[in-house]
Structure 1
């Protein structure tokens, strides 16, 4: 396994300065944003796409430092009911898949998107209750008319380009749990898998280790994010886990993101890493930092310290004791 970082943290640095910085910290892989919510500070689609000379120079800067690119990421909402927003997200995803293919990068990370509740809707509608029955009708329409048709086409496109799609299971989007990921994968094929982030499992009340087992049995983990979450039980009792309190109002939120090791201890992270290996995930653990209590520098450094102690670097080939 390799320790990586989602480089959106360092969007204020040039590509070269960012690469030098993360290598000095002991990072082995970078996940690069190509647009959408992450931005494209270190990977411009329009500059690199179909330009072999620029692509070679780009990859040399990364490979010469002993790094790999674990994924290209373009988190957006390609199913947004406002057509211009959906179009931009879809075009970015399409270009990102093409560029990943041209660069030999195996995974593209994004969100599943969330549609509205009818063709003329203005905003996404994320049903979170089975009753009143209106919500079930909305959910059925979204999956049958929007999600499955869109992702069937995109999965086929990705397979043609020898790229896997890692959907981040994130609240507010239609695919946000192991069950919804597997439902879409069953309908659209194995190119669809998870970019599994335990921080989003914890706040939904899902044990990440069990999520790894559920998805791992189906070989459905394409990429893995490392980010932590803390649950504030008194605020949860007040607001519930679907808390709409702004992220900035941390004292009153039911949960908030922490850097690795500050929501759950090293043993829990060790158990997650071990379970990933148990279910044959031997790729990159990519640090994502969204901790409102410490700087990027400090949070990134502490995440590395926690993860380095629990990473499995050398898997055995034979059980020599049996």
Structure 2
């Protein structure tokens, strides 16, 4: 495995400066945001596909850094019920696939997306209830009419452009949010679809990352290193479906934390051991979203903790 970082967290730095800094603290690979919600601070797939000079400058900067690119990130909701929003995310995602082909990267990361509940919807509708029966009808329509047809087409597009791994982040709020839904989509559209396994989104749902890794053996294409701390008291009162703003830190049932501040090093050793047993030997990419630490402090603590726990050889 290799130690990596999603460079979005250093978006205020020029790419060259960010890569030099990451190299200096022991990072081996990077995950570059090139559109969608990760933004375009270090790469804009749409512009790069239109301007070969910009692409060449980007490639030269990365090559000079001594780091390699593990994956491109272009998260979004390409099945959003607002067609303008959906089309924008779709355009950026396909540009990311084309960019990956140009620079020899085989993995593009994103979200599955979430449609509305009918053709006239204005907003996504994430179904998490079994009853009343209306919810089952919504879920069936979303999968059969929107999600599966969309990703069947995108899998074909990716294969034409030599991208064989679309790593969907299992994220609540979207149709693919746990191992079961990831495998459901993969079985429907083919093995180009795999998982970006981010334990932070699994922890607060009550999912054991080790169990998830076992369930997803052979379908894990990327790994985000991010932790979650559960507030036992708040969770006991209000449960895990906490929609309060992240700014209300003392009131929330859980918070994203840097590696080692939600779960111990021994827990992370177990996660990386299970990844190794399942044959995953890719990047462990730090994604920093810890509101209790500055970016640099959180990143450097994560790097140190991961150096102690990742199985490199």
Q: Distance in 2 between matches of 1:154 and 1:47?
A: 20
C-alpha distance in 1 between matches for 2:39 and 2:64: 24
Secondary structure, aligned partner of 1:129: coil
Cα deviations across residues 216-270 of structure 1 (Å, max 9, x unaligned)? 1xx1111000000011121112221111111110111011100000000101111
Q: Which residue of 2 aligns with 1:82?
A: 82
SS at match of 1:39: coil
Corresponding residue SS for 2:255:
strand
Paired position in structure 2 for 1:283: 282
* Whole-angstrom distance in 1 between the partners of 2:299 and 2:12: 15
What is the RMSD computed on CA atoms of the aligned residues? 1.1
How far is the alpha carbon of 1:291 from its aligned partner?
0.5
| Aligned partners of 2:77 and 2:112 also within 8 Å | yes
**Structure 1 CA distance, aligned partners of 2:124 and 2:155?**
22
SS at match of 2:31: strand
CA contact (8 A) 2:200 2:228 kept: yes
Q: How many Å separate the matches in 2 of 1:46 and 1:184? A: 27
Which residue number corresponds to residue 305 of structure 2? 306
Secondary structure, aligned partner of 1:75: coil
Q: Shift of the alpha carbon at 1:34?
A: 1.0
SS in 1 for 2:4: strand
Residue number in structure 1 paired with 2:257: 258
TM-score by length of 1: 0.95
**Which position in structure 1 is the counterpart of 2:7?**
7
Q: Which runs of 4+ in 1 moved over 3 A?
A: 50-57
What is residue 161 of structure 1 aligned with on the other side? 161
For the 8 Å contact 2:46–2:96, the answer to whether it is kept is no
CA contact (8 A) 2:30 2:70 kept: yes
| Mapping 1:1-322, distance limit 5 Å | 1-49=1-49, 52-163=52-163, 164-216=165-217, 219-314=218-313
For residue 176 of structure 1, give the secondary structure of its aligned residue in structure 2: coil
Partners of 2:242 and 2:253 within 8 A in 1 = yes
The more displaced of 145-154 and 63-72 is 63-72
Residue by residue over 1:57-98, the C-alpha shift from the partner in whole angstroms, topping out at 9 and shown as x without a partner, is 322321232211111111111011011110100000011101
Q: Secondary structure at the match of 1:309?
A: helix
Q: How far apart, CA to CA, are the structure 1 residues paired with 2:281 and 2:69?
A: 15
Distance 1:136 1:46 in 2: 37
Q: CA deviation at 1:52?
A: 4.9
TM-score (norm 2): 0.97
Aligned length: 312
Task: Encode CA deviations 1:193-224: one digit per residue, 9 max, x unaligned.
Answer: 011100000011100011111101xx111100
More displaced 10-residue stretch of structure 1: 287-296 or 64-73: 64-73
